[in-house]
């Protein structure tokens, strides 16, 4: 089998899960392009392009320019927003904004980049969804958008089947990123309660998700498409008690 290197484009690749995936791809010798609103740390060795994924007017043309300069054969849609509120306080604007960033922007990226993939006859698309797609309080907008991304993953996989392009999703459980630690101090009772609810007894790490992404992005994973891999420490299986 011919090794398909090309470039990997990662949205939200400057921090957290996106950065872990970025560093993992760089370690494999790939050209990595990061789209984000903030730059990654110096020394990551990636091509950084500032981008606002909500700017749909310029997003498609930006991606077209990127694909001229880089042969993008792998796409990771990692950027997303989580606006938390009970249904009684749900804002129509927040719902629209969440769907725009978490579903519509990934669709625009996949639509544009898959053109290059089709020409080459090879491509890997990985969408970062969430375990919250199965339901979680206070997350009408977020959970709906992440469930929508899983549905889109299945549709794109069917539409691109036979082209050499696979489309899959990863649905992380609670992952200990910098933002997570800021909102959930390790010593807080709520954080301890979350950890206790995870069957494997710990929070996930960004590297856990990067390892899963490496598998789905590999050229040898060509028989896996339309799937959602829950990387959640067993949360989607059930409780270890009761």
Mean pLDDT of 191-200: 92
| Domains of the chain by start residue, with CATH | 7-228 (3.40.50.720)
CB 199 within 8 A of CB 235: yes
As a whole number, the mean pLDDT across the chain is: 94
- Does 215 qualify as catalytic in the annotation? no
pLDDT, residue 3, reads 62
Distance CA 98, CA 104 (A): 9
- Among the listed residues 48, 142, 180, 215, the single catalytic one is 142
How does pLDDT run across 76-91, given as a tens digit for each residue? 999 999 998 999 999 9
Scan for tokens 């050499």, then name that residue: 164
Nearest to 177 by CA among 9, 10, 12: 12
| Terminal C-alpha separation, the chain | 49
Distance CA 204, CA 86 (A): 26
Task: Tell me the pLDDT tens digit for each residue of 148-194.
Answer: 999 999 999 999 999 999 999 999 999 999 878 877 888 889 889 98
**CA-angle at 163, arms to 217 and 78, nearest 5°:** 35
Confidence at 1, pLDDT banded by 50, 70, 90:
very low
Other residues' Cβ atoms within 10 Å of the Cβ of residue 160: 20
Q: What is the pTM of this model?
A: 0.95
Cβ-based neighbour number of residue 227 at 10 Å: 16
């Amino acid at each position: 089998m011919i090794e398909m290197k090309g470039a990997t484009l990662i949205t939200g690749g400057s921090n957290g899960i996106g950065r872990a995936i970025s560093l993992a791809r760089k370690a494999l010798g790939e050209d990595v392009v990061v789209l984000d609103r903030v730059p990654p740390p110096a020394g990551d060795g990636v091509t950084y392009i500032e981008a606002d994924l909500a700017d749909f007017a310029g997003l498609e043309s930006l991606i077209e320019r990127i694909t001229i300069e880089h042969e993008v054969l792998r796409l990771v849609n990692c950027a997303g927003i989580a606006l938390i509120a009970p249904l009684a306080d749900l804002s129509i604007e927040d719902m629209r904004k969440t769907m725009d960033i978490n579903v519509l922007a990934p669709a625009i990226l996949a639509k544009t980049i898959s053109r290059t993939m089709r020409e080459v006859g090879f491509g890997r698309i990985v969408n970062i969804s969430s375990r919250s797609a199965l339901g979680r309080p206070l997350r009408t907008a977020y959970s709906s958008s992440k469930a929508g991304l899983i549905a889109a993953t299945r549709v794109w996989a069917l539409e691109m089947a036979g082209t050499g392009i696979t489309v899959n999703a990863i649905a992380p459980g609670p992952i200990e990123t910098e933002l997570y630690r800021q909102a959930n101090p390790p010593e807080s009772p709520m954080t301890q309660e979350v950890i206790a609810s995870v069957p494997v007894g710990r929070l996930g790490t960004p590297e856990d998700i990067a390892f899963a992404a490496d598998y789905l992005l590999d050229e040898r994973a060509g028989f896996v498409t339309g799937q959602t891999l829950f990387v959640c420490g067993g949360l989607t299986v059930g409780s270890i008690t009761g």
